[in-house]
Amino acid sequence: MEVSILIVTKNRPDELEITLNKLFGLLDLSIHEVLVFIDGCKKTEVLIAKYPWVHWENSAISISASPARNKLYKKAKGKIFIGLDDDAHPLNTNFITISEKLFKELPKVGILAFEEIKGIFNSDTDVLTLKQDVLQEYLCSEFVGCGFAIRKDVYEITNGFPVWVDIYGEESCLSMEVLAKGYDILYTNRITVNHRINRAQRMQTRRNYYRFGKQLKNTTFYYLVYYPFPLFKIAKLFWHNFKKYACSDWKYFKTYFKALFAIVLFLPRLIPYRNPIDAITLEKISQLPNPKF
The closest of 194, 89, 99 to 152, measured between CA atoms, is 99
Taking each helix axis from N to C terminus, what angle separates 250-270 and 207-226, rounded to the nearest 10 degrees? Answer: 30
The closest of 293, 268, 263, 176 to 227, measured between CA atoms, is 176
The CATH architecture of the domain made up of 3-199 is Alpha-Beta Complex (3.90)
How does pLDDT run along the chain (293 residues), one tens digit per residue? Answer: 999 999 999 999 999 999 999 999 999 999 999 999 999 999 999 999 999 999 999 999 999 999 999 999 999 999 999 999 999 999 999 999 999 999 999 999 999 999 999 999 999 999 988 887 899 999 999 999 999 999 999 999 999 999 999 999 999 999 999 999 999 999 999 999 999 987 666 655 556 899 999 999 999 999 999 999 999 999 999 999 999 999 999 999 999 999 999 999 999 999 999 999 999 999 999 999 998 75
For the four alpha carbons of 118, 124, 130 and 136, in that order, the dihedral sign comes to: positive
Whole-angstrom distance between the N-terminal and C-terminal Cα of the chain?
A: 30
The closest of 8, 19, 159, 179 to 90, measured between CA atoms, is 19
H or E segment and range at residue 272 = none
Q: Where in the chain is the domain with CATH 3.90.550.10?
A: 3-199
